[in-house]
Structure 1
Amino acid sequence: MKSNYIIYISFFFLLLNANSCNLSKTDHSHKLTIDLDNTNDTILYSQFTKSIDYIELNTNDSCIVSHIDNIFLDDDTIFILDKKNAGILIFTSNGELVNQINNYGNSAEEFINIRAFTIDPILNHIYILDCNSQKINKYNYNGDYLESHKSTLYVRDFAVLENGSYLCILPYYSKYTPYGIWTTDNNNNIIKKIQFEIPQDDQFEFVGYYTNLSNQCIYYYDRNWDNFSCITKDTAIVQYQFDLKQRLKEDIRKKDPRLIKLKDFAMMSSFSYSDNFLLLTYYYYVDNNPYRWALYNKHTQKITVSNVVTNDIDYVQSSSEQIFYLNNKTWCRVLDEKVNNCNIQLQILNLK
């Protein structure tokens, strides 16, 4: 992770509709302390995993996948976002490539850049957020274009709630953009807002993953306050508050990010939730081995912090820092070596 992951963007966008209803927010949180310098223990797969399966993503002898940026799983279908220009690839649960959405361009059914994507497992729809044009394109699982919705507000990440509305996320503050979380309908009308304290002049953002998509709610990590919430169409419940010892101080956050010296602080890079565990990946701005993991066991209420996550079940190791959330029972890690120089292998972690 390099300094170009620190983004400073000031755009003039329309402000949120002042007449919109507020989304109810409650706090039933556990307060947890995380010290990334306390890495005396190793996080072992056996602490949270009961068994491992493997899926080879067969791209039909075509090396089209450069690096997996995000993954969704819906029953027998796997969706991946390629980090470069392969777009969205759709596989069966056996790893067979069945469709690809890489409609790059300027027409209505195309996109210039994929900032984020999500799925609606009820209606079998795929949604792609185009970072450049700030529109959301909708496709079916066959990759057929359905429709497009333009956003007048700048959005960094999004999800689709059970009633078909969009959950929109802008996780940092800038003078000319609204901050926080809100829901919209398909016509971009604001339905509800979650009321947060506005971190005035806080210009710092760390780009990464903000949500896990569950059939129960949307799990969201707010990096400004290091809070973890469960969000539905009506409520936002703060479940965890983290006292991250390496958190960037408020006075530094108000500076121009281009002037901040990136050293000795950390921010959450990604996370994976389950019924029994929460695994947080942090990027720590130090000279060597910048990634740290914190595993929270909900039953024992113990936090294990480590600079490695080791497979002690079948000993097939991966150096990937990303452990993807698939659902509340399943996580996933990408293995280092490609099979036949093209196909990617997924290590499926069936959780305890």
Structure 2
Amino acid sequence: MSTAWSVSSAGQWNHFAAAHPDANLLQAGSWGDLKARYGWRVTRLAVGGADAPRGGVQILTRTRRIPPLGPSIGLAYMPRGPLAKSDADARALIAAASEEARRLGASLLRVEPVCARHATVLTALGFRQTDAFVQIPRTAVVDLDADDAALLGSFKPKMRYNIRLAARRGVEVEMDSSEAGFDAFYQLTAATAARQGFAVHAASYYQDVARTFGDDAALFVARFEGRALAALMAVAFGPEAVYLYGASSDAERGRMAPHATQWAAMQWARTRGCRHYDMWGMANPDDPGDPMAGVHRFKLGFNPRLVEYPGTYDLPLQRVRAWALTSGALRARAALQRWRGRPQN
């Protein structure tokens, strides 16, 4: 079995992770850096030579002692990983991640792999699939390998019409990372959350996302006569851009501002060299009551590829404490997120 080693250089990690065929936002070094500011410990492991790693994985761990001087309890989480081309490298990285999570005092290692092949490896290593999830296991991806005319032409007719209608009806979309832009975004986010019943982060968190990703993050605000009607934040990493957060106003719905903001974000993604635009979460097609059904229908207008991930796999590292974790806080949170149809952060 290959021997895994710790990656200490953020630049080295990003160079590897961005170029990997399974590159994704949740394995970006900047995503780990962001989470480190909110109580998570970040570990990055790799296999192969230091100058050219064959595979790697980023793990997030969060633990605490109960009581303060007692044993630790907590979660180690591997989102959309490992990044490995061979089963042998995947096995080595998962085994090393398990040992590192145990060393850090985690009670449970939760993995959400990119591909079914890695799910098979997880099962062979003693992981068990669970119906809980951290990230929604379905998404929709728009391929960007076309010019504006061809890309627009690939959308469903109603979506094309509404994007053009937004422009005719005076909607203007601009990248706006100013204080006023973030104020508008957060006000729209709070209004959307109240309307649809989901939780939001503090305003400072969204600004922290933008600061952490720098030029690879963009905030788009759609306005009519100076009034913000819709906004979204997109982040680019490797070959893909991700529609990470979005919100819209109840006012002036007929001006189709959300359609225009998505179109602007896709055009920006192409200028960043991205080949794909991930719309970040779709409804469960087998559940007619899924609260994301309306958003799902909207996203289908862009005629995306539908992607389904293998699901979520757990490995107890301390059985009693893992049981307490999954039967208590994690299960309650997962149930709440399923009800809201939102990914956990």
State whether TM-score is above 0.5: no
TM-score by length of structure 1 reads 0.25
